[in-house]
């Protein structure tokens, strides 16, 4: 059996694990960090299958603060990394998000949220239906009461560039990446002592980090702990609508679907009515969703969707937190040397810079530092007290 030793083992090497390793080795040069990743193609990771967008329009202050840091980090990626690893710009396309309200209450909520977001440094404007149509004349707005739009700091970027940059910078700073599967977490006297690998190896370590995405609950169970995170399937369609080609459109959040342009095409998806857990290896697309659910709604919102062609589709999994669809972070009170960075439910990519930094700081100092992430700590989960994010996409 191969035996290794590390100060910290990170389980899962996609965007969260790589970010954590990057920040740990940046803040503590010489720290021995090993990242274990079972599939270095990342073909089925949420990171690779993401729609890769960032917004400031969240309903909780902590999520806005996380994205405030994220956008700066992503915008000046090379400079932010502080290490030249050949991954320069992430091609941020700042088209904004447009949230739509369909009732007076919904309009009031958008206004309240915009006040909070702007207090934290965002640039959210709330528009009347007429103002919305003046800005985006291809939209049908008759059923709307208001819309909120981020004037800056919202859009989409290169997800795999972000991952590659974190990995390369972490490696350059001394982190070690190995391809294997963690199949056991050893615990003695309430402390992590190491992890067992599928190929027969063992890494002794006093601290481990669960960055296992949709497999987070499986990893937690290896240590005898429960985590309310499950894989949920999302089928994403790439659509050509020749009468509605608007590459400068925002990411539009409507009541039953969302869509954003990708050059001359659209990326478009919905949440299935019967949403529930799926097998971790079930990547069969729900093709009927486009015809049965999305198309009519898209046409009602933008009449240019009268003629459409699905040119491609893919399936990704959310690591869905069934309690409140928010991140679950930090050490577990019953096993403080096992750290969680899980349950991101569809908004984790943009959060990876701030969450990686936060977890690294907590490991190194024993508490939250740059950002107080305690609202997202696992304690609320253990108490069964949801910390709801209303702006869930
Ligand atoms: C369709 C879709 C659209 C999305 N859109 C957005 C968006 O627009 N903006 C946004 O911010 N977020 C978005 N997300 C969410 C975002 O992609 C995820 O929250 C984020 O990528 C999570 O990163 P992760 O590293 O935690 O998980 P993952 O990327 O899933 O990585 C987990 C890794 O752990 C590895 N692993 C698991 N178990 C083990 C083990 N036992 N041993 C070793 N390795 C293991 C896996 O192989 C995997 O590579 C979207 C997700 C999907 C599916």
pLDDT in tens, the chain (393 residues): 789 999 999 999 999 999 999 999 999 999 999 999 999 999 999 999 999 999 999 999 999 999 999 999 999 999 999 999 998 899 999 999 999 999 999 999 999 999 999 999 999 999 999 999 999 999 999 999 999 999 999 999 999 999 999 999 999 999 999 999 999 999 999 999 999 999 999 999 999 999 999 999 999 999 999 999 999 999 999 999 999 999 999 999 999 899 999 999 999 999 998 999 999 999 999 999 999 999 999 999 999 999 999 999 999 999 999 999 999 999 999 999 999 999 999 999 999 999 999 999 999 999 999 999 999 999 999 999 999 988 877
pLDDT of residue 392: 77
Q: Which atom of ligand 1 is nearest to the CA of 156?
A: 8
pLDDT of residue 1: 76
Q: How far apart are the first and last CA of the chain?
A: 45
Return d(Cα 193, Cα 191) in angstroms, integer. Answer: 6
201 C-alpha to ligand 1 centroid (Å): 25
Start-end of CATH 3.50.50.60 domains in the chain: 3-71+159-228+324-383
| DSSP-assigned beta bridge partners for residue 208 | 9, 338
Residue minimizing CA distance to atom 2 of ligand 1: 50
pLDDT of residue 391: 81
Q: What share of the chain is helix, strand, coil (3-state, %, to 5)?
A: 30, 30, 40
Neighbours of 191 (CB within 10 A): 13
| DSSP-assigned beta bridge partners for residue 328 | 342
Structure tokens at 258: 């969302």
pLDDT of residue 393: 78
Ramachandran bin of 365, using left for φ above 0, alpha for ψ from -120 to 50, beta for the remaining angles: alpha
Of 60, 38, 37, residue with least CA distance to 345: 60
The yes/no answer on whether domain 3-71+159-228+324-383 falls in CATH 3.50.50.60 is: yes
Could you tell me how far CA 121 lies from the centroid of its own chain? Answer: 21
Pairing type for strands 328-332 and 191-197 reads unpaired
Sheet of strand 251-253: strand arrangement: 124-127, 146-150, 97-101, 251-253, 258-262, 265-269, 229-240, 309-321
pLDDT of residue 344: 97
Return d(Cα 120, Cα 56) in angstroms, integer. Answer: 9
316 C-alpha to ligand 1 centroid (Å): 9
Start-end of CATH 3.30.9.10 domains in the chain: 97-152+230-318
**Pocket mutation for ligand 1, best pick of 20, 36, 45 (most atoms within 8 Å of C-beta):** 45
Pairing type for strands 202-204 and 3-5 reads parallel
Cβ density class 221-234: b for 16+ within 10 Å, e for less: ebbebebbbbbbbb
For the chain, state the CA radius of gyration.
21
Structure tokens at 161: 């560039």
* DSSP tally for the chain: helices H, then strands E: 11, 20
The response to whether residue 298 sits with its C-beta less than 6 Å from ligand 1 reads no
| Domain 97-152+230-318, CATH | 3.30.9.10
Q: Which atom of ligand 1 is nearest to the CA of 314?
A: 1
3 C-alpha to ligand 1 centroid (Å): 28
CA dihedral 157, 158, 160, 166 (to 10 degrees): -70
The response to whether residue 353 sits with its C-beta less than 6 Å from ligand 1 reads no
The response to whether residue 155 sits with its C-beta less than 6 Å from ligand 1 reads no
Residue minimizing CA distance to atom 21 of ligand 1: 47
């Amino acid at each position: 059996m191969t035996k290794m030793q590390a100060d910290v083992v990170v389980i899962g090497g996609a965007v969260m694990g790589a970010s954590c390793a990057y920040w740990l080795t940046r803040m503590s040069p010489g720290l021995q960090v090993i990242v274990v990743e079972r599939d270095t193609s990342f073909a089925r990771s949420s990171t690779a299958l993401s729609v890769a967008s960032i917004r400031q329009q969240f309903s909780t202050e902590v999520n806005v603060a996380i994205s405030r840091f994220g956008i700066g980090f992503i915008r000046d990626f090379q400079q932010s990394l502080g290490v030249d690893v050949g991954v320069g710009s992430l091609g941020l396309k700042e088209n904004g998000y447009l949230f739509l309200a369909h009732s007076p209450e919904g309009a009031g909520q958008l206004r309240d949220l915009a006040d909070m977001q702007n207090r934290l440094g965002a640039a959210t404007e709330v528009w009347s239906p007429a103002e919305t149509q003046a800005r985006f004349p291809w939209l049908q707005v008759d059923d709307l009461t208001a819309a909120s739009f981020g004037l800056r700091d919202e859009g989409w970027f290169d997800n795999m560039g972000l991952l590659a940059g974190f990995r390369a910078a972490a490696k350059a700073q001394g982190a070690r990446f190995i391809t294997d599967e963690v199949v056991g977490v050893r615990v003695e006297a309430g402390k992590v002592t190491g992890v067992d690998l599928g190929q027969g190896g063992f890494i002794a370590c006093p601290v481990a980090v669960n960055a296992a995405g949709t497999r987070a609950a499986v990893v937690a169970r290896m240590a005898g702990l429960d985590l309310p995170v499950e894989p949920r399937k999302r089928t994403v369609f790439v659509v050509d609508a020749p009468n509605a080609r608007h590459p400068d459109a925002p990411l539009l959040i409507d009541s039953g679907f969302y869509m954003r342009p990708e050059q001359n095409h659209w990326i478009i998806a919905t949440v299935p009515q019967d949403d529930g857990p799926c097998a971790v290896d079930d990547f069969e697309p729900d093709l009927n969703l486009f015809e049965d659910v999305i198309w009519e709604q898209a046409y009602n919102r933008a009449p240019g969707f009268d003629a459409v062609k699905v040119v491609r589709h893919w399936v990704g999994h959310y690591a869905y937190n069934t309690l409140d669809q928010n991140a679950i972070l930090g050490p577990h009170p019953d096993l403080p040397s096992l750290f969680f960075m899980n349950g991101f439910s569809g908004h984790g990519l943009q959060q990876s810079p701030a969450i990686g930094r936060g977890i690294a700081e907590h490991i190194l100092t024993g508490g939250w530092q740059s950002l107080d992430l305690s609202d997202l700590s696992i304690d609320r989960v253990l108490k069964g007290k949801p910390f709801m994010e209303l702006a869930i996409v």
